[in-house]
A and B are shown apart, each in its own frame.
Chain A
Amino acid sequence: MDFILEGFVQALHLLAGGNPETYSAIWVTVRVSSYSIGCSLLMGVPLGFCLGYFDFSGKRPLRTVVDTLMALPTVFIGLLVYAFITHRGPLGNFGLLFTLPGIAIGQTILALPIIIGLSATAVESMDPKLRVTIMSMGANRRQLFISSLWEARHGLLAGAIAAYGRVMTEVGISMMVGGNIKWHTRTITTAIALETNKGQFGMGVALGLVLLAIAFGVNISVSFLRRRI
């Protein structure tokens, strides 16, 4: 048990002392997860809205596909993205392998079904009378879309948090597509895996604590936001 306690003490030293390697991993994680969650929200919210709002043939099977993709294994996404962006792959010319954009692409694929699925659920659970109310006030199509999204904001926020949590804590994509390159593509989770293998519990615990702190910070912010809107 001592080595765990020592790990905690060492973690506090690393964080308080501004250890550059620790903070590099934190910065990379925040950057890459922000890119991927931003892209996922931009694409996923409109798609999720359409999936939840409109009735069309093939909606149920499509919904099943999206729900299935919500459980995509990260190593499988990593494998697929690696295959596409490796030098021999169809997107090899873009030089995305072992880069942050490469990881962001993989994490976007990971987050997108979660955002689509949970947005669709949020929109489906909206009161059908809302549409009648908004239209009876004279809204055009754009106003109807924006007002409906606004009324579903709490559900959308929950979807965004779930996706952010999954992106922040994934290892498979960052490891396979990013290559865990120190100062460059090493994220919190890949650093924890590496440091633990090396027996460096201190850094692993420090980074774990940072992950928890980020999750806590995000949830506090969202909780504050929910009360305000």
Chain B
Amino acid sequence: MERPIYEIRSLKHSYAEKTILAIEHFNVPPASIVGIIGPNGSGKSTLLRLLGLIERPTHGKIHFNGRQVEPFSNEARFLITLLPQEPFLMKRSVFKNVSYGLKLRGNGSNITTSVNDALALVGLPSRDFAQRPWYALSGGEIQRVALAARLALKPKVLLLDEPTANVDAASAQLIKAASLRARQELGATLIIASHDWEWLYEVCDEVRHLFKGRLFGSGQENVIFGPWQHYQGRLWQKELTDGQCIRFAKPPPQPDAVAIIEPTSIIGTTQTKHDGSGPDILEGIVVRLTLKKTSDEIVATIMIGNLPFTLKFSRQQVQAENLYPGQRIKLYYSPVSVEWL
């Protein structure tokens, strides 16, 4: 088996005594694209800063290419680069911002060519942008200049923290395309934290879910936040915004716990089932169908009220059910198939 480019075991990171990240085990294969999905405050940016060797973990070690690394490690600092969520341009021209890293690394020759190539990669023609000062750029252009500065370094690992969160659709498209070219042309490993799970499912070899600092699952689990109310007997429920209730026969550890349901525990169908087993039923609308990159599976997003559910279908199922966005669909789930966080 190929040696992972990153290997993390028993890592903990805290700020002011509060544990932000607690990851038991996380391997990243070389030249892969790994997506990290999670709500705000789940620890995505912290994880990327640790992987980018910007910070040292409070406990535990990070191994890169089999060697233990930390901030300023010579083994890794020229191979890894991080594009933060809100990139920062130094008070200088676009050309000087993009060439900054090259100069730091002593890549004195062909700087102009490297900068021009990197700017072209993110859709910013050098003749129009190279001499522009940092303050004469739009938000999307700043993000693209910052990405160009990273791509010019020809990194082995490119860490992207919400790269398309604050930009317009055209910039987002260019950023996505440029990131993927880094993988295709440089064989770079990409680790992407994003809310754009549709994009992640489309491009990633592996998607992981990060919640309250813990990595789990494949990233396609359905996450339902509390508060939960006691219904009757062992049943606990949450009322959704459209008036339907989702109920579980497994008590939550606390009323504001988070319920995790595997997509495979839910059956979605346009027909009414009468199997008598008594699973609860919810009704929603198909809003999106996405083909998974690594398999033939189709991931469907079904909205119930304002809560999105993720289900997996085979191509045949989609054809048989005649699924399309906008169609109403019934979800059958088992009230005991829930994990609590």
- Quick check: is B284 within 8 A (CB to CB) of the other chain? no
Contacting pair A138 B153 (CB below 8 A): yes
CB neighbours of B91 from chain A (8 A): 151
Given A138-B77, A138-B78, A140-B77, A132–B49 Cβ distance below 8 Å? Answer: yes
Of the candidates B49, B81, B86, the one whose C-beta lies within 8 Å of that of A137 is: B81
Q: Is A198 an interface residue (CB 8 A)?
A: no
> What are 5 A-B contacts defined by CB distance under 8 Å?
A129-B84, A136-B81, A136-B83, A138-B101, A140-B72
Contact of B104 among A127, A129, A138, A151 (CB under 8 A): A138
Contact yes or no, A133 B87, CB < 8 A: yes
Inter-chain CA distance A136–B151, complex, in Å, is 12
A136 touches B82 (CB 8 A): yes
* Contacts between chains A and B (CB distance < 8 A), count: 57
Interface size class of B (residues with CB under 8 A): 20 to 34
Binary CB contact string for chain A from 148 to 187 against chain B (1 if under 8 A, 0 otherwise): 0001000000000000000000000000000000000000
The minimal Cβ–Cβ distance linking B16 to chain A, given in whole angstroms, is: 11
Please give the number of chain A residues whose Cβ is less than 8 angstroms from any Cβ of chain B in the complex: 16
Cβ of A135 < 8 Å from any Cβ of B?
yes
**A20 CA / B150 CA spacing, docked (Å):** 61
Which residues 75-107 of B have a CB within 8 angstroms of A? Answer: 77-78, 80-84, 86-88, 90-91, 100-101, 104-105
B-chain residues with CB within 8 Å of residue A43 when the two chains form the complex: none
Query: Once bound together, how far apart are the Cα atoms of A78 and B229, in whole Å?
Result: 75
Report the Cα distance A190→B54, complex, angstroms.
Answer: 53
- B161 (CB) vs chain A CBs: closest residue: A132
Q: Which residue of B lies closest to A136 (CB)?
A: B82
Complex CA gap A87/B74 in Å reads 54
A143 within 8 A of B: yes
User: Which of B83, B88, B146 touches A130 (beta carbons < 8 Å)?
Assistant: B88
Residues of chain A with a CB closer than 8 A to B71's CB: 135
Nearest residue (CB) in B for A143 is: B104
Query: What string of 1s and 0s marks CB contacts (under 8 Å) between A80-119 and chain B?
Result: 0000000000000000000000000000000000000000
B81 contacts which chain A residues (CB < 8 A)?
136-138
In this assembly, does A139 line the interface, its C-beta being within 8 Å of a C-beta of chain B? yes
A171 to B84, CA, bound (A): 52
A227 interfacial contact with B, CB 8 Å: no
In the bound assembly, the distance between CA atoms of A139 and B104 in angstroms comes to 6
Minimum distance in angstroms from A132 CB to a CB of chain B: 5
Interface residues of B (CB under 8 A from A): 49, 52-54, 71-72, 74, 77-78, 80-84, 86-88, 90-91, 100-101, 104-105, 146, 149-150, 153
Q: Which residue of B lies closest to A131 (CB)?
A: B54
Complex contact B86–A129 (CB within 8 A): yes
Question: Is A228 an interface residue when CB atoms closer than 8 A count as contact?
Answer: no
Task: Report chain A residues within 8 Å CB of B54.
Answer: 131-132, 135-136
CA distance A133 to B83 in the complex (A): 8
Cβ contacts under 8 Å, A139 to chain B: 77, 104
Which residues of A lie under 8 Å from residue B84 when comparing CB positions? 129, 132-133, 136
B residues near A133, Cβ cutoff 8 Å = 84, 87-88, 90, 146
Residues of A within 8 A of B49 (CB): 132
CB neighbors of B among A185-201 (8 A) = none
Closest beta carbon of chain B to A151's beta carbon, Å: 6
Given known A-B contacts A129-B86, A129-B87, A130-B90, A136 and B150 have beta carbons under 8 A apart: yes
9 shortest interchain CB distances as A-B pairs: A137-B101, A129-B88, A136-B82, A138-B77, A133-B88, A138-B78, A135-B54, A136-B81, A132-B84
Which A-chain residue is minimally distant from B149 (CB atoms)? A137
Complex Cα distance, B84 from A91, in Å, reads 54
CB-nearest residue of chain B to A141: B72
- Residues on B with beta carbons closer than 8 Å to the beta carbon of A138: 77-78, 80-81, 101, 104-105, 153
The answer for the CA separation of A147 and B52 in the assembled complex, in Å, is 19
List residues of chain B with CB within 8 A of the CB of A140. 72, 74, 77
In angstroms, Cα B146 to Cα A185, docked, is 55
Cα separation A138 to B87 with both chains bound (whole Å): 16
Q: Most A CB atoms within 10 A — which of B74, B78, B101? A: B101
Q: Which of B54, B74, B88 has the most CB of A within 10 A?
A: B88
Most B-side CB within 10 Å, residue of A133, A135, A141: A133
Min CB gap B98→A, angstroms: 10
With A136-B81, A136-B82 as given contacts, are A127 and B88 in contact (CB-CB < 8 Å)? yes
A141 to B54, CA, bound (A): 12
Q: Are B90 and A137 in contact (CB under 8 A)?
A: no
Known: A132-B88, A151-B90. A137 touches B72 (CB 8 A): no
* Contact B104–A137 (Cβ < 8 Å): yes
